[in-house]
Amino acid sequence: MNTTTPTYAAAVCIGRFQGLHLGQLAVIHRALALAPRVVIVIGSAHQARTAKNPFTWAERVEMVRLALTADEKARVRFVAVRDYFDSQRWVNAVRDGVQAQVGALPPGQTVLVGHHKDATSTYLDDFPGWMFDDVGSQGELHSSAVRDALFSAAGHPLEPALAALVSQVPPSTIHFLRAWAQLPCYRELAGEWASLRAEKAQWASAPYAPVFVTVDALIQCADRVLLIVRGRAPGQGLYALPGGFLEQRETVYQSALRELQEETGLHLLPGDIAHALKGVRVFDHPDRSARGRVITHAHYFDLGARPLPEVQGSDDARSAQWVPMADLAAMEDRFHDDHFHILDSFLGLTH
């Protein structure tokens, strides 16, 4: 931490804030001490609710605002930034969002406040021209512990779980969580949280953390794409691309076709589907899946302007449907994992 307090025109804090804790609040207070204007960047915005990202970006803004005084609130602005899983695109979005709030400032007049905790903090080095202020370690405080306490209390009295968080979060977060747990989504997300914990426990004795390989199929026909609605957790009830795990004796291409047929009933002649393949991309961001380290190979097929083939959801899919491409951007917060971003990568849905 700096021994003196320099004066900056603006300070920036970046985080997911998925359960505001005292360490994050200390970063915000440091930013308020360094500059008259503070921009708080809310990451992982515009997503479907999941056990890892249960709070919408607007709810996280409210969680932060509840922890601030009236004077502090008047000096703070918020920017919501989605996970592009493309570091440079994400950095550009952060810079653009901050500039929209404070204007174009000369180099050295903006300070980024945070802490180099581990490999997840490397983004702090991606903003040349901004100064950096490291607040140092604030102790073993993690938003994941807040979420674990919240979801483990499902089906039990909530107050003991909240009481266990008193030393880790501001009082306003306790009040927020108490009210938020009354929402209908709470028990559904708690069930997903329990399912994921049980799945990960099966690999606890493995000598190495597992790395899963999956496939996904993006099928375009005329002005529509083929999507499924997931029939089981994680992501039950969310839209997704047809896909699944690679089997032992398959290539990724063979696996993509098998999963496509199993989940949607779509079957084309081998020559037709091979001709329709326009590209394959690997999506391997460490945080792309709630299951852990999952690397997927997304296959993009364009069937052209033919009539829409008949489809029907089966296997892991509750349903399968042809969705107008014009509707996809408005559905961003209803997709499983990073499947909207896979669509965006191939189809250019966001700018």
pLDDT of residue 136: 85
Which residue, among 193, 206, 209, 222, has the nearest Cα to 323 in the 3D structure?
222
pLDDT of residue 1: 43
Structural contact between residues 250 and 231, judged by C-beta atoms closer than 8 angstroms = no
Which residue, among 240, 236, 260, 238, has the nearest Cα to 250 in the 3D structure?
260
Structural contact between residues 338 and 238, judged by C-beta atoms closer than 8 angstroms = no
pLDDT of residue 149: 95
pLDDT of residue 117: 78
pLDDT of residue 3: 46
| pLDDT tens profile 19-37 | 999 999 999 999 999 999 9
Which residue, among 140, 86, 33, 6, has the nearest Cα to 345 in the 3D structure?
86
What is each CA distance from 310 to 128, 227, 260, in whole angstroms? 52, 13, 13
Query: Residue ranges of the chain with pLDDT lower than 50?
Result: 1-3
CATH code of 10-186, in short, is 3.40.50.620
Residue type for 236, please? Answer: Q
Burial pattern 6-40, b for ≥16 Cβ within 10 A else e, equals eebebbbbbbbbbbbbbbbbbbbbbbbebbebbbb
Residues 6+ apart with CB under 8 A from 109: 8, 9, 10
Superfamily of domain 211-347: Nucleoside Triphosphate Pyrophosphohydrolase (3.90.79.10)
Domain boundaries, the chain: 10-186, 211-347
Helix, strand, or coil (residue 250): coil
Which residue, among 82, 80, 81, has the nearest Cα to 62 in the 3D structure?
80
pLDDT of residue 5: 61
Which residue, among 303, 297, 314, 244, has the nearest Cα to 273 in the 3D structure?
303
Compute φ and ψ for 49, nearest 5 degrees: -65, 135
